[in-house]
Structure 1
Amino acid sequence: MAYTEKRGTRGGAASYVGRFRVDGRLRSTRAFRSRRDALAEARRAEEAGKLGAWVDPRGSAIAVAEWFDDWQATRADRAPRTLEAERERFRSLVAPTFGEVPLRRITHDDVTRWAAGMRAPRSGEVASPARRRDAVRLLVALLDAAVDSRRLTANPARTPSGKVSGLPRAPKTKAHRYLSHEQLRRVADAARTHQGRTLVLLAGLTGLRWGELSALRTGDVDLLRGRVVIERAYTRLDDGTLLLGDTKTHARREVPVPGVLVADLSVLLAARGSGLLFVGRDGGALRRESFDRNAFRPAVRAAGAAVTTLQELLGLRATRLVDAATLEQVRRVQEQAGLPATGVVDAATWEVLVEADRRRRDDLSRAAKIARTHRLEVAARLTLGAGAEDFAPLTLHDLRHTAASLAIAGGASVKAVQRMLGHESPVLTLRTYAGLFEDDLDRLGEAMSAQFAAQDFASGAHHVLMEATEATPGVRQLPRIAAR
């Protein structure tokens, strides 16, 4: 029960504080000149404590930066990369405006103005919508935690209904890039090493994330069962440190090994023995930036421009597509060289074309000759047929999208694609690749139409609705519908 205590004098007059209990602890109000005011304040605080709405004024006096450190200390179970990203976001976007401000001094208008005009630390320009959205979400989470810990009565970043009115619009997601089977094979063939070829095919046919690929051990690959076990992943911090931990969803899963990969994986497994499946030059974990720079991007450039390279050697206008004119010219070259005129540009055909090009390089500088030789060496590893088409550069993560695209085109269900990619739920799979499932609806409509037609007319049977032969009490008799 609330009561008051006398606390000396203030300016010659006595002062009083109210005493009350919240969460089993005896607490005090600020000093009042009137015993009645002190008691009323103590009673209000005690009643708020019973309703779970009491806030310790001293707790809300803490600065936002100090509260952020305390809050992060309670999130030690989060992935190191997540905590690192939060620290960077707070330091660069939140702290300049709110770092030294006490929690109780933040207002809804402050948050709204900050969200609209948030500045990037280096350029001084308004930050991108994606960065502003992430920063606002971080501040909202920080203030939600302050409410949960009874440092604030309400989150000033939210409206009374709980909405965050200052949240910038979600940026449009970048369009996914997909490779066809033929284009994926081209990229793999253009890779400089057997390890590079195997990694590209594994990523493009199973959709594994880079962290999962780089953490694979030889023991995770079971060629007899045709499965790869995914149960750990590498995470790279901003300072370059690699941390080995759980997968993104903290779940173990298995993905199927496509039959076309068995031979390549067998060679790699025999060479590794034990330990990591994919390794860097130092024998440690293969780093994404190293593989991307030295293997993947050069392979994509060569494979993505292979048709243009072919048409240059043939003296044709670059259409980026192996069309009828290109096929005709390829067959002519093959006939002149005594090769089977198949129109397929294989190693033997490339050799003839490269040799002819070598005789026409007199006007090139030495550096240009060397660059052209390297370019054609990679192109000569590729096979091009009718309909082959050039493609624009893509990222390593686009191989994951490619795997999803090829699986869906092959008839895989949403659940199967979800399990292969390691999504937390089919909803995420559908939201990410909804457009790819449109073809399923077309095929479903065609299949149902064909089945209906086969059942209804193939046997010549017609469904006729007959009148009931005997009247049934309470049941309306249907009229007879004659067959047409």
Structure 2
Amino acid sequence: MDKRQMVEGRPGHEAQGHTSKEEPSAYMKHSLSKHTDDPENAKVPERYRAKDFGKGSRWEVRWRIDGITRRKLFRYRGEAEAFMAEIEDRIRSNRYMDPRDSCRPLRQAADLWQQGLAGTIKGSTEGRYRRELRVWVLPQWGDVALKDISTARIQRWYVSLADGTAPYGGERGSASSLSASSIRSVGKIVLGSILDVAVENRWIDTNPVAKAKVPHNRAVQRRIYLTPQEIKILAGQMDEANATVIYLLAYTGLRIGEALSLRCGDVDLGRNRINVLRTQSVDVDSHIVETLPKGNRTRFVPIPSQLLPRIKDLLDGHGPEDYLLRGPRGGRQTTTNWRNRVWAPALRDAGMQDIEGLVIHSLRHTYASLAIKAGADVKTLQAVLGHASATETLDTYADLWPNRTGEVAEVIGQDIQI
């Protein structure tokens, strides 16, 4: 690597209207040397000045790296010298970046990022990231130079995502307000990962996403907990097999994708439990696939004794590889079909369609509320629900645990001697 750099003054101009050159005096040269950054103030008679005297970029930095000579022009000598010092330092410390790389549009870094996605994450996650890139990131940043993407601009974009005013690249509909978790996925994960690629390739110095703050949700959606009576009313709008799905979700805490992926062989009647080994998901092309449960964590859930007769009916006459909760034709039931063809009509028939926040996942929340009411501790509930940690369980359902500080004070008070 050739590490030579130099600062040079660009050639001057001859005075206009003269047919012969006249050598400036030593006095004029000395005055020019004292006013290199502002030649207009030098004591040079008008006849020696060209019409563009003192104008434009008069200083040039040239450096050679990887066999290629680069150059950049500056109006002032001080700026040129500062830039030269920075270039020298970067080359010595192996931090050199071609200034032209920071002018690349973000979509070039996005292309490299997408090439590295396949096989590194679940297909459903990959598909979601690619959709978020197409729908939200590229419309805003695709043609923006990397050097022009700042933390302040990203912060303003986050606000527009929350307001529903951000540029939108969806094929249908229009932009809508995104929740804090969605903004975090679009901004911190997708845009952030793309800019990480740019940093790794030395196209930019740092990732401006790091210091951008995701706006808080303006309104937190109310979490719905159903009573056993409401669960029975809802299940009563369905046939027996689908009613069993409702009861399983509400009384075992299964996710709907986990429930619809169960095989008959996953039921352990000897121990009254179900082994949760897989869940429904989608691949990068939005095709239904089965993968490990969320977080790649398998687990087992206990079966309440009241549900055993229903489960035995579903097992009757079926082999271990048959689906436990089958579709109308006996095969796999998909989450989308079950939501549209079973859940939604049942809500309408039960008069519950207008309950804000009531979704299939509310049945899992209902299980948590009933378990906590029955005295389940955090670690037990974490294991049954398949949460990554007890902290996640506490953060999700902290409002359900009773405040027992008064009881603690009473117990401690029994040992106090005053």
TM-score after normalising by structure 1:
0.62
Structure 2 counterpart SS, 1:249? helix
Matched with 1:142 is 194
Distance 1:402 1:41, change over 3 A: closer
Matched with 2:338 is 291
Matches within 5 A, 1:146-157: 146-157=198-209
Matched with 1:215 is 261
User: Which amino acid counterpart does residue 88 of structure 2 have in structure 1?
Assistant: R
- Of 167-176 and 266-275, the range deviating more from structure 2: 167-176
User: Which amino acid counterpart does residue 67 of structure 1 have in structure 2?
Assistant: A
TM-score after normalising by structure 2:
0.71
In the alignment, structure 1 residue 70 sits paired with structure 2 residue 112: yes
Structure 1 counterpart SS, 2:275? strand
Q: Structure 1, residues 151-182: CA drift from partner, whole Å, max 9, x if none?
A: 31012344xxxx214x3323533111111223
8 Å Cα contact 1:17/1:38 also seen in 2: no
8 Å Cα contact 1:2/1:39 also seen in 2: no
Matches within 5 A, 1:166-181: 167-181=214-228
Matched with 1:4 is 4
CA distance in 2, matches of 1:246, 1:151: 37
CA distance in 1, matches of 2:226, 2:220: 19
- Structure 1 regions of 5+ residues with no counterpart? 20-25, 306-389, 457-462, 465-480
In the alignment, structure 1 residue 85 sits paired with structure 2 residue 85: no
In the alignment, structure 1 residue 94 sits paired with structure 2 residue 94: no
In the alignment, structure 1 residue 399 sits paired with structure 2 residue 356: no
CA distance in 1, matches of 2:264, 2:316: 9
CA distance in 2, matches of 1:64, 1:136: 14
Matched with 1:47 is 92
- Of 269-278 and 396-405, the range deviating more from structure 2: 269-278
Q: Structure 1, residues 335-373: CA drift from partner, whole Å, max 9, x if none?
A: xxxxxxxxxxxxxxxxxxxxxxxxxxxxxxxxxxxxxxx
User: Which amino acid counterpart does residue 339 of structure 2 have in structure 1?
Assistant: D
8 Å Cα contact 2:260/2:333 also seen in 1: yes
Q: CA deviation at 1:196?
A: 0.8
Paired residue for 2:300, among 254, 266, 290? 254
Q: Structure 1, residues 10-37: CA drift from partner, whole Å, max 9, x if none?
A: 99xx996434xxxxxx57562479xx99
Distance 1:31 1:294, change over 3 A: closer
CA distance in 1, matches of 2:127, 2:307: 37
Distance 1:431 1:46, change over 3 A: same
Matches within 5 A, 1:234-313: 234-236=280-282, 241-274=287-320, 275-303=322-350
8 Å Cα contact 1:18/1:41 also seen in 2: no
Distance 1:170 1:147, change over 3 A: farther
8 Å Cα contact 1:29/1:41 also seen in 2: no
Distance 1:48 1:291, change over 3 A: same
Distance 1:43 1:189, change over 3 A: same
Q: How many residues align?
A: 349
Q: Structure 1, residues 103-122: CA drift from partner, whole Å, max 9, x if none?
A: 23323343334333343536
Structure 2 counterpart SS, 1:150? coil
- Structure 2 regions of 5+ residues with no counterpart? 12-59, 74-80
Paired residue for 2:245, among 195, 199, 206? 199
